[in-house]
Structure 1
Amino acid sequence: MKNIAIIGAGITGLSAAFYAKKAGNSVKVFEKMSRVGGVMHTLQKNGFTYETGPSTGSVSLPEVVELYEDLGIQDLLEQASSIAGNRFILKKGKLCALPSGLISGLTTPLFSWKDKFGMPFEPFRKRGTDPNESLSEMVRRRLGQSILDYAVDPFVSGVYAGNPDVMIPKYALPKLYNLEHNHGSFIRGTIAKMKEPKPERNKKATKKVFSTQGGLSVLAEHLEKAIGKENFVLGLSPVVVQENGKFKIVAGENSFGPFDNVIYTAGASHIFEALPFAQEKFPGANQVLYAKVSEVAIGFNKWEGVPLNGFGALMPSKEKRNILGILYMSTLFKNRAPKGGVLLSVFVGGLRHPDFIDLPEDKFKEMVCKEVADIMKIPNMKPDLFEVTHHEEAIPQYDLKTPVREEAYKGIEKAYPGILMGGNGIDGIGMAKRIAQGRELAGRV
């Protein structure tokens, strides 16, 4: 049995603590916020259940399902129906369905005829040679400008609140990068992947959109209970101190330890607050660009807009809108709005409009209401719920700073044996990635 300190009680830290304890270790989780879950937080108001942080995840890895199974709450894992596969992109004021097959790919107004008819020639295009090529350059080269403008660009702004001009596929989208790098083509690589035998365990990775019944905070609460509330130190900023090959944690006026291992799972920008002794040797560890994002929960007791028959709608940069995207939360999951009502999650800011987060409250609400009413064709924009959450550091960008950060993380682990580095600064941002990383960190201990 080892005595382990986990810094950060977001989904990565909670997963690490849960699996470390499950393996028979003693754990203590330190979190500077006064509650567990990190940015994952669910609230209720006026009959609506809404998220103020991540709204959904994807069951892209079996670790998601296994976490719910290991907690004994598999019945609470809520996977959205097939209707979530319907994604909409705004073009010239109209919401157009993102193509999902050959026929819709040919008939969609989103892409140019040049790019539609150029698609079969993608396997014969020259392989890229620059590992630091931007996503924009890669997609433009392999698929064409219109597919970049009306598929990839809105995806990047919707998922990462980012910009494809600065995103590096090798770090942000390694699976996409490896399709070309290993197979010379997206299409050839996809076909090759389809032919590979899949372990039985991988069937759990349904790729469906997921949440927890009652909201993602319910998952955090079950993890907190399984880990043991007595094993949390909340509301204090932890500082790691190294002593004779062991570690202690100073939090406020209290000291904890000694610990055999420290698992860091908090944000990259705050790393030297917890590990001050690493700053001089590894200054690149906190080099990260975070997108600022405002999340707006908008609820209606009666819906009068366009049909909400899908996952949501994304706004390409070319359309010059003031929002990034809209998720149809009450379509995806049950009991998110009063009977007959609707709940939307609207995202604003990102790298596209970082200044919007600082708008006066009345100006911000006026702007968002005007955009949503226009896009969703709402004749009388009087929502019954309008709740805003601003995030100064919402989503880390996987750009050219990423390899510098990754090397610094490895350097810290090597220089200070017993410290393990995680968090959304490395290995991706999705919920599945965070859960899998937390479990992997516990396994490394």
Structure 2
Amino acid sequence: MTVAVVGGGISGLVVAHRLRSRGRDVVLLEASARLGGAVGTRVRGGYLVEQGPNSFLDREPATRELAKALSVEGRIRVADPAAKRRYVYTQGRLRSVPASPPAFLTSDILPLGARLRVLGELFTGRAPQGVDESLAQFGRRHLGRRATEVLLDAVQTGIFAGDVERLSVAATFPPLVKLEREHRSLILGAIRAQKAQKAQQKALPAGDTSAPPKLSGALSTFDGGLQTLIDALATSLGDAAHTGARLEGLARVEGGWKLQVHEHGRSAELAASQVVLAVPAHVAVALLRPLDAPLADKVGEIAYAPVAVVQLGFEPGTTPAPDGFGFLVPSGEKRRLLGAIHASTVFPFRAEGGRILYTCMVGGARQPELVKLDEDALVALARDELRALAGVTATPSFREVIRWPLGIPQYNVGHLERMAAIDAALQRWPGLHLTGNAYKGVGLNDCIRNGAQLGDALAAT
């Protein structure tokens, strides 16, 4: 019987592709007119702009495997070497993030006392068992107050646009918690992990083909942007993917599920053995509430941070080409910009003829009201902040504003407990599954890995 995947973002597309590639009958229902969800690329005025995620780190085997299966592996483009340097705005100016421990000790990104306090991490103890610490609590305990306010807050801003005092460290950065649990000190754990990795590589026989393909770990995209991946997924699904198809009702029946679908002005019933809700949490809540109100309430507890993306393009010669990947702004600086990506430096092919493209992020969990500003006001805000923080005084010849009122899921303290409760509640409804960035990873790689795992599990049933 058919597996119904509801939601045509990256998660739903990957689940459906995995099922179809394994010979299962699948239908994908997407309420909007296009596939891809937040992932999408536009070509305008000599610029290639991303409306959501900008890139991915080439370190996830499932992503590389997907690209290979879709015959787009050869279209992966690695970031320009000039993008390796990253900046944080702190103490009144942009400062380079050190790339090594020795560079950190001699840098000016933190005051001397704060740098020495980071070295004291070697003597940090473990957290009490069963405590879900915030990222700020974890950071202050290991790295000290100043490093948490500047470095750790900047890192989470670039991923979650969240509140460091509210995000759960176990849910947002599980590798850090694992390092602490196994090694006590993050520094010691990182050193030991690096040694173990080198030893493992040396132990592999020459020409060993059993090892997984080596991933570059580099910041990457595709020629044509991330839309290349979406288009390839859509092509692979063919007529199994339906746009303009909205799920209006869901009911458990003997042998599976019955779906009420409204598609292009007509309503119809669809029978399915399994249903995957690969939609944002608030959409899942509306679908789940008539079925299971307590489950819907738990899913509804997942908060989102609104984000506005302001793209500003400049003609050649009007402003210097920026160095590095871009910069992030810790919340303690009290600025109105979360950060900016030097898009044309990272991937030069995204701006024709030497043009300069900045991708600016506004809003987040701490300043959600800014996302409600009109387009002119958001452009003016981004220009003012670029002038004050990065010295960009030129007038842009290109502008585009994209708002995400429910932008990035917030894995706040209690998220893992919430997920355990959601997983337990789903056991009451055999054949019903939830996936997407609201649950177990917000990044593109996370969504692809989780979608592939779910697709494989369903294909095996």
How would you bin the TM-score normalised by the shorter chain?
Answer: over 0.9
> Match of 1:87, as an amino acid?
R
Amino acid at match of 2:242: V
Q: What one-letter code is carried by the residue in structure 2 that aligns with 1:162? A: G
Rounded Cα–Cα distance in structure 2 between residues aligned with 1:128 and 1:171: 15
CA RMSD of aligned residues (A): 1.9
Q: Which of 210, 222, 236 is matched with 2:220 structurally? A: 210
Shift of 1:307: 4.5
Match of 1:223 in 2: 233
- AA partner of residue 236 (structure 1): A
- The match for 1:416 is 429
- Tell me what 1:111 maps to: 110
Displacement after TM superposition at 1:256 (Å) = 4.3
1:394 corresponds to: 407
Instruction: Name the residue aligned to 1:438.
Output: 451
1:72-221 equivalences under 5 Å are 72-129=71-128, 131-194=131-194, 195-196=196-197, 197=200, 201=211, 204-221=214-231
**Aligned residue identity for 1:172:** T
Equivalent position to 2:241, from 226, 232, 240: 232
Cα displacement string for residues 417-444 of structure 1 (whole angstroms, at most 9, x for unaligned residues): 1112211121110111000011001011
C-alpha offsets along residues 40-98 of structure 1, whole Å, 9 cap, x if unaligned? Answer: 11111111110111112222311111111011111111221343321101123321110
Shift of 1:254: 2.8
Instruction: Show the counterpart of 1:365.
Output: 379
Instruction: Structure 1: give runs of 5+ residues left out of the alignment.
Output: none
Partner SS for 1:393: strand
Separation of aligned partners in 2, 1:401 and 1:225 = 39
Contact in 1 for aligned 2:314/2:398 (Cα 8 Å): yes
For 1:348 and 1:308, the matched residues in 2 are separated by 19
Distance across 2 between alignment mates of 1:221 and 1:207:
24
Q: Which amino acid aligns with 2:286?
A: E
- Alignment match, 1:293: 307
C-alpha contact (below 8 Å) 1:306/1:376 kept by paired residues? no
- Shift of residue 401 of structure 1? 4.4
Q: Which residue of 1 aligns with 2:207?
A: none
For 1:201 and 1:83, locate their aligned partners in 2 and report how far apart those are by CA, in whole Å: 31
Compute the displacement of 1:303 (Å). 4.7
Is the 1:17–1:442 contact (alpha carbons within 8 Å) kept by the matching residues of 2? yes
Instruction: Give the one of 329, 335, 342 matched to 2:343.
Output: 329
Q: Aligned to 2:362, which of 348, 362, 377? A: 348
SS in 2 for 1:373: helix
> Alignment partner of 2:365: what SS?
coil
Counterpart of 1:60 in structure 2: which amino acid? Answer: R
- The whole-number CA distance in structure 1 between the counterparts of 2:213 and 2:167 is 30
Measure, in 2, the Cα distance between the counterparts of 1:303 and 1:90. 25
- The gaps in structure 2 that reach 5 residues or longer are 205-209
Residue pair 1:324, 1:347 contacting (<8 A) in 2 also: yes
After superposition, give the CA deviation of every residue in 1:180-224 in whole Å (9 maximum; x if it has no partner). Answer: 122211112212322153796555443221212111112111100
Contact 2:306 2:408 in 1 (8 A): yes
Checking the alignment, whether the CA contact within 8 Å between 1:286 and 1:405 is kept in structure 2 is no
Aligned residues of 1:301 and 1:338 also touching (Cα < 8 A): no
Relative to structure 1, the CA distance from residue 133 to residue 401 in structure 2 (aligned partners, 3 Å threshold; closer, same or farther) is: closer
Partner of 1:55: 54
Match of 1:272 among 270, 285, 288: 285
What is the CA distance between 1:108 and its match in structure 2?
A: 1.4
Partner residue, 1:251 = 261
CA distance in 1, matches of 2:97, 2:269: 53
Q: How many positions carry a matched residue from both structures? A: 442
Identity of aligned residues (%): 26
Q: Which amino acid aligns with 1:187?
A: I
SS at match of 1:426: coil
Farther off after superposition, 182-191 or 192-201: 192-201
Amino acid corresponding to residue 136 of structure 2 in structure 1: S
Deviation at 1:305, TM superposition (A): 4.0
In the TM superposition, what whole-angstrom CA distance separates every residue of 1:214-271 from its partner, at most 9, and x where no partner exists?
Answer: 111121111000011x112222321322211311221214334321111121111221
Which range moved further: 21-30 or 151-160?
151-160
* 429-438 or 304-313, which deviates more: 304-313
Displacement of 1:395 after TM fit? 0.3
